[in-house]
Chain A
Amino acid sequence: MNSALFIAQRMTAVILAFAVAIHLVTIIYAAQHGLTAGHILQRTHGNLAFLALYSTFVIAAAIHGPIGLRNILREWLGWWGHRIDASLFAFALMLLALGLRAAYGVFVA
């Protein structure tokens, strides 16, 4: 792993630490207060703060995850090279597209 990937992984880890904590607290709050899907969508509809938070979450996860996966593939399976990097870049784009689509979907629902 070169320094650029190291920095990217550490910086996104900082973002994820906050984002995951907020995400978990939100889940626990929703479960404890018996919120239905309808109630949740009412709160998220048109909520720019929600959209900003979850978009940041998705972007950080799409960067952080594939870098870690790259290390695992290299260390445990010995897979490395441009082909693996291209595959992981495609995987990152897929995470980004699916994640942003989901966040936007909940925002406009």
Chain B
Amino acid sequence: MTGTELTVRIWRGQEDGEFQTYRLATRAAQTVLDVVTEIQRGQEPDLAYRYACRVGMCGSCAMTVNGAPRWTCRTRVSAVARKGILKLQPLRNLPVVKDLVVDMTTFFVKWQKAKGVFEPGSVPLADFAIVKPNSAERRAVDAGVECIGCGICYSACDVVAWDRDYLGPAALNRAWTLVNDVRDRGQTERLAAVAAVGGCHSCHTHMSCTRLCPKNLAPTYAIGGLKRASARAALKVTT
């Protein structure tokens, strides 16, 4: 594929805008982020996009590549280009700031709404919490804790697209890791938050988040865990 011509159609503008076409040569082991950077440096200096680490750690370079949200720093052109064409758009379900940059505010506000922050309680624990590595809680935390907050699952989710109140896979996944954190003292409020309107019960189990998560996490299963935990909590309250 090296040396052949790559056609790249990039969204320019905000909510209103249009695709512009660029052409460049393909290179060995080229990533989608490499392509965007080469276009910005050589052809379109005011092209807006976002990245930081370039090695799949920071989660800032996500965008829609040929219709699917992906982390562009770890996505090879050869794996996603169709007939030598790349179509790049900003992430879905978030307001566009400019070109390929979206405003992530709503995404992170929903983490707060889902009580996706550690709650230590008013009084510190008297001693260290003993968490066995092979305990069910620890394994549940391990399964979801590597989220990098890239927003790919949020962009992939159809429920987010049609329900503006839905907290989304990332926020609920984070809540699930905290539900399994034995040190946390905010479980009652957290389970109430994730069971409210737009919470875990709104998930339709489409599994787009799980299919596209670049870290191979499974937010769908985390949301399933929240459904069970919040249902158990509701039954305890009523009995």
Residues of A within 8 A of B (CB): 1-7, 10, 71, 74-76, 80
Once the chains are docked, how many angstroms separate the CA of A66 from the CA of B231?
Answer: 19
B113 close to chain A: CB less than 8 A: no
Residues of A within 8 A of B201 (CB): 1-3, 5-6
Are A6 and B163 in touch, CB under 8 angstroms?
Answer: no
Are B162 and A3 in touch, CB under 8 angstroms?
Answer: no
Are A75 and B231 in touch, CB under 8 angstroms?
Answer: no
Are B195 and A2 in touch, CB under 8 angstroms?
Answer: yes
- Report B161-184 residues with CB < 8 Å from chain A CB: 162-163
Instruction: Please list 8 pairs of residues, one from A and one from B, whose beta carbons are closer than 8 Å in the complex, sorted by A's number.
Output: A1-B197, A1-B202, A3-B230, A3-B234, A6-B201, A6-B230, A10-B231, A75-B159
Are A76 and B162 in touch, CB under 8 angstroms?
Answer: yes
Closest to B227 in A: A6
A-B contact count (CB 8 A): 34
Residues of A within 8 A of B233 (CB): 3
A51 CB to nearest chain B CB (Å): 29
B126 close to chain A: CB less than 8 A: no
Are B195 and A7 in touch, CB under 8 angstroms?
Answer: no
B196 close to chain A: CB less than 8 A: yes
Closest to A1 in B: B201
Are B234 and A74 in touch, CB under 8 angstroms?
Answer: no
Once the chains are docked, how many angstroms separate the CA of A80 from the CA of B234?
Answer: 22
B206 CB to nearest chain A CB (Å): 13
B235 close to chain A: CB less than 8 A: yes
- B159, B163, B195, B202: the one contacting A3 at CB < 8 Å is B195
8 A-B pairs with least C-beta separation: A3-B234, A1-B201, A3-B195, A6-B201, A3-B230, A3-B231, A7-B231, A75-B162
Closest to B164 in A: A78
Residues of A within 8 A of B231 (CB): 3, 6-7, 10
B124 CB to nearest chain A CB (Å): 31
Residues of B within 8 A of A6 (CB): 195, 201, 227, 230-231
Once the chains are docked, how many angstroms separate the CA of A74 from the CA of B166?
Answer: 12
Once the chains are docked, how many angstroms separate the CA of A4 from the CA of B235?
Answer: 8
Closest to A71 in B: B202
A34 CB to nearest chain B CB (Å): 43
